[in-house]
Structure 1
């Protein structure tokens, strides 16, 4: 009798430098080298130190003491920072959330850049969809009030929890400000609640409380990275986005993705059909024709210029196939 066929393993380009043949979880350190600006800065050194300390933009030496590093040109100030992330080097297709993917790194850079150059993300409530290792949500937790890190499957969620603990000391956030919760897009929103009384099964650590659902609906920011790789998954994503973004506070989604190309026998060409399917959900400013004076759900997408986002993380190659989309939701009237 033949043994069970092993699942096909996939590997992120981010992990190409990891030890070959290594099984189990591995820990990587992603380092930031942060130029704030190349424009003259008229603030005093004391003001800069105070702002850096208050915003947690810090340099630590080996003993954990605060340092301020400058180049000879005083208009450039660098901050060395990093995240420690536990991940798998390879995984099955069903567990790709155990790896770090390039789209998560570029979205982390985007969040970091926004937090350095604006107060847009300060003290907000945010929810990350398909969080994988939790890197993006952890980065946002530096400045946000509350972050819900969501994915599905105990192994992925346990790994998220491990990464929150690995980074909590350095980032100086309070762990209660990060909630790791299971969210299956196919089951929709709001997620099912499990009661906590003695007559029923105890709620798992990744289940939602009703108060948390109410708080998540007050979120103004949604995040997702590298969740566009199958049409079925894309359909489920936009289905839950419609439910999430039509309830509670007005929300914006920043979605990072990699355009993946495959050879199509049908078209006899190399195409990015998954990307095209994703774009089909973005209606832009199209006019709708119809006989009824009805409202039609609409997702509007704006492509972010990555040329304006410095590459802070040096442990990967950004490449030309990464994109970040700013996506909003509205209702348009048929005309």
Structure 2
């Protein structure tokens, strides 16, 4: 899953999304991401929240040896950067976007690291028994459709323990986005750990509350 268009600021930047690719430098690697707006729309372009999260991962958290899952991966940029930073990564999205996602992962992960990355289908709230818990759960601009909030929360609860770190990178466009964070606070401690004022992107860190805190 990826975000939908909401405001004139996003629309003004739409031109770059129609490019067939975008290039980034993270984790001492040049990453070339294919984009396919025409066929897959918002799920197949790189959004600011993903870029900001990648920047944060380079400096704000040690992923070496961690098990990581990315939700709603889209182009896979965040999962790719996580793997290059030393994590064992599971990159997920809906079935319709999977082949596109796999292509980006295979093109940007060195052969010696490809065994550390898997691409799997995941529709939030469904088939969760196919997944265990992870050290880190990542999501870039996945808070936007209110009808998915319960399933997204259910998915995060399943994928996490009290030691799991959840990092969500997002713009907060509407009151419903704040409502999702309030829903999370019923089960997790939630704090803002980064804000990029240039692109209005927040990063929130969440960790599951223990039973005594509920």
TM-score (norm 2): 0.83
Provide the alpha-carbon RMSD of the alignment.
2.9
2:154 aligns with one of 223, 232, 239:
239
Counterparts of 2:33 and 2:24 in 1: how far apart (Å)?
8
In structure 2, the residue matched to 1:179 is: 118
Counterparts of 2:187 and 2:70 in 1: how far apart (Å)?
21
Larger radius of gyration: 1
Matched, 1:228 2:153: no
Residues 225 and 256 in structure 1, CA contact (< 8 A), matched pair in contact too: yes
User: Would the alpha carbon gap of residues 173 and 14 (structure 1) be closer, same or farther in structure 2, given more than 3 Å must change?
Assistant: farther
Q: 1:91-138: CA deviations, max 9, x gaps?
A: 67xx522121111111111112236xxxx2111111111111110000
User: Would the alpha carbon gap of residues 109 and 145 (structure 1) be closer, same or farther in structure 2, given more than 3 Å must change?
Assistant: closer
Q: 1:279-304: CA deviations, max 9, x gaps?
A: 22143xxxxxxxxxxxxx62110101
2:36 aligns with one of 73, 84, 88:
88
Matched, 1:276 2:191: no
In structure 2, the residue matched to 1:151 is: 93
Cα shift at 1:250: 2.5
Counterparts of 2:189 and 2:116 in 1: how far apart (Å)?
30
Q: 1:47-94: CA deviations, max 9, x gaps?
A: xxxxxxxxxx54xxxxxxxxxxxxxxxxxxxxxx531101123567xx
Q: Which structure has greater helix proportion?
A: 2
1:128 aligns with one of 70, 73, 84:
70
Cα shift at 1:143: 2.6
Residues 228 and 274 in structure 1, CA contact (< 8 A), matched pair in contact too: no
TM-score (norm 1): 0.55
